[in-house]
């Protein structure tokens, strides 16, 4: 699935967990995407990981956010083109932000394998 979405400001939580994300406007996300984590590419085939849906660890509202692998950007573009490649896992509640961060590192390794960016 491919789509383009406007970027919006987030809470900065991903940055605080050393996994900065670009938040996407939920109204631009197409129907049919299930809650979960996905290996994806953005813009010019840059490898990334996408989270869509609830954020149970933080009891927070649903979101769609992208973490670009091995790339730091100073400011997000106005719009981001995303191509979802493969679902990695369902969303899950973790007991702490540290547990979530450990799982995110595992998810990034899985995404690298899927996207061939080891």
CA dihedral 96, 62, 111, 6 (to 10 degrees): -130
**How many other CB atoms are there within 10 angstroms of residue 65's CB atom?**
20
Q: Tell me how far apart the 2 most distant CA atoms of the chain are, in Å.
A: 36
Q: Which pair of structure tokens corresponds to residue 99? A: 């547990």
In the prediction, which pLDDT does 35 show? 94
Give pLDDT tens digits along the chain (118 positions): 999 999 998 666 656 566 788 999 999 999 999 999 999 999 878 999 999 998 777 677 788 999 999 887 778 889 999 999 999 999 998 888 889 889 999 999 999 999 996 5
Q: Which pair of structure tokens corresponds to residue 12? A: 């900065």
In the prediction, which pLDDT does 18 show? 67
CATH code, domain with 78: 2.40.30.30
Domain that holds residue 40: 2-115
Q: Which of 48, 49, 42 has the alpha carbon at shortest distance from 91?
A: 49
In the prediction, which pLDDT does 4 show? 95
Residues 58 and 60: their CA atoms lie apart, in Å, by 5
State how many domains the chain has: 1
């Amino acid at each position: 699935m491919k789509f383009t979405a406007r970027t919006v400001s987030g809470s900065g939580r991903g940055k605080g967990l050393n996994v900065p994300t670009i938040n996407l406007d939920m109204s631009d996300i197409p129907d049919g995407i299930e809650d979960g984590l996905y290996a994806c590419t953005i813009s010019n085939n840059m490898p990334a990981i996408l989270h869509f849906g609830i954020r149970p660890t933080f009891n927070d509202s649903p979101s769609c956010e992208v973490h670009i692998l091995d790339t730091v950007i100073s400011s997000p573009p106005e719009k981001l083109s995303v191509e979802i490649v493969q679902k990695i896992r369902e969303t899950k509640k973790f007991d702490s932000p540290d547990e979530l961060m450990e799982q995110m590192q595992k998810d990034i390794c899985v995404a690298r394998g899927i996207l061939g960016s080891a």
